[in-house]
Amino acid sequence: MSTSTESALSVFGAGGVNDAAHVRSVIRQGRWTSQTSGLANGHVQGNVVILPAAEAGDFLRYCQRNPKPCPVLAVSEPGQAELPALGADIDICTDLPRYRVWRHGELVDEPTDIGALWRKDMVTFVLGCSFSFEQALQEAGLRIRHIDQGRNVPMYRTNTATEPAGPFHGPMVVTMRPFKAADAIRAVQITSRFPDVHGAPVHIGDPAQIGIADLGKPDYGDAVEVLPDEIPVFWACGVTPQAAIMQARPEFCITHAPGAMLITDLLNHQLASF
């Protein structure tokens, strides 16, 4: 558990924190309403975007054109609250700890259940997240600085524009993890195996080349130390589609609250491409 281990143990009880279906059932009951980092270890967690069908086609095309920041794990039928590809019992109206509700690009509510807001035209997108490849990096013995320091990963807007689709556009946002050179090479190899969760880095080395003026001042998340013998490694980030949605200002949109992801039955190892 990255946060509040003791409270998690008491909330999840005998069912434990690592059984995905059990964790989802506790969340479904409204008994866990915060971040999911450290829950259901080994299982894929997903970013969630729910849009009316009128905007969903454009957004899917946006994801297709920008697969590194927007890797689509699943898309529902309009009005379908189930996501059988990700877990037999998933109900997207109840299974996130906390949601954010947006109207015309403005945040209007942060409920723990969206059953009352559900519409027959809503389409759910689940996008891969870097938790999955971070597990693979750690299992390979690599240390991840922001995890070691108990911080959020530093994120930066770059000067690389994403490919627009309909109203969705904006800069690519990246995460940064510093490594010694040999570990940076290993990190390229490991994350290349996981195209469904951002895949290989998009940049390595000089931050200025992608329009980042100061690594010490991330646009989102927390700064972390980069040691003199380390090289910064940059991956496409799931904040990219969120920023594109905020810019597009759809009449209605629901997302997960930051860090409060959808826990799926998929194992991170199942996403490895070779």
Query: Of 105-113, 146-154, 194-202, 213-221, which segment contacts a second copy by CB under 8 A?
Result: 194-202
Distance CA 197, CA 96 (A): 19
Total Cβ atoms within 10 A of residue 147:
17
- In terms of Cα–Cα distance, which of 192, 181, 175 is closest to 236? 175
Compose the 211-250 pattern: x for residues touching a second copy by CB under 8 A, - for all others.
------------------x-x-------------------
Contact between 141 and a second copy per CB under 8 A = no
> At CA 250, angle to CA 246 and CA 253, rounded to 5?
80
Which residues are CB-contacts of 248 (< 8 A; sequence separation ≥ 6)?
55, 58, 105, 166, 167, 168, 169
From candidates 51, 72, 202, 262, binder to a second copy by CB under 8 A = 202
Closest approach of Cβ 162 to a second copy, in Å?
16
Distance CA 48, CA 163 (A): 20
Tell me if 46 sits within 8 A of 126, measured CB to CB.
yes
Contact between 181 and a second copy per CB under 8 A = yes
Classify residue 115 by burial, with Cβ atoms within 10 Å: 0-12, 13-18, 19+.
exposed
For 124-230, where are the alpha helices, taking DSSP H only? 131-139, 145-148, 181-192
- Compare residues 66 and 94 and give the one whose CB is closer to a second copy: 66
- Compare residues 15 and 205 and give the one whose CB is closer to a second copy: 205
- Compare residues 97 and 199 and give the one whose CB is closer to a second copy: 199
Binders of a second copy: how many residues, by CB under 8 A?
Answer: 18
Contact between 200 and a second copy per CB under 8 A = yes
- In terms of Cα–Cα distance, which of 111, 127, 119 is closest to 53? 119
Distance CA 61, CA 11 (A): 40
Name the token pair of 81.
Answer: 């609250």
Closest approach of Cβ 210 to a second copy, in Å?
8
Query: Of 91-99, 105-113, 195-203, 241-249, which segment contacts a second copy by CB under 8 A?
Result: 195-203
From candidates 1, 85, 117, 185, binder to a second copy by CB under 8 A = 185
- Compare residues 39 and 210 and give the one whose CB is closer to a second copy: 210
Query: Of 96-104, 118-126, 143-151, 200-208, which segment contacts a second copy by CB under 8 A?
Result: 200-208
Contact between 251 and a second copy per CB under 8 A = no
Contact between 274 and a second copy per CB under 8 A = yes
Which residues of this protein are in contact with a second copy, per CB under 8 A?
181-182, 184-185, 188-189, 192, 200-206, 209, 229, 231, 274
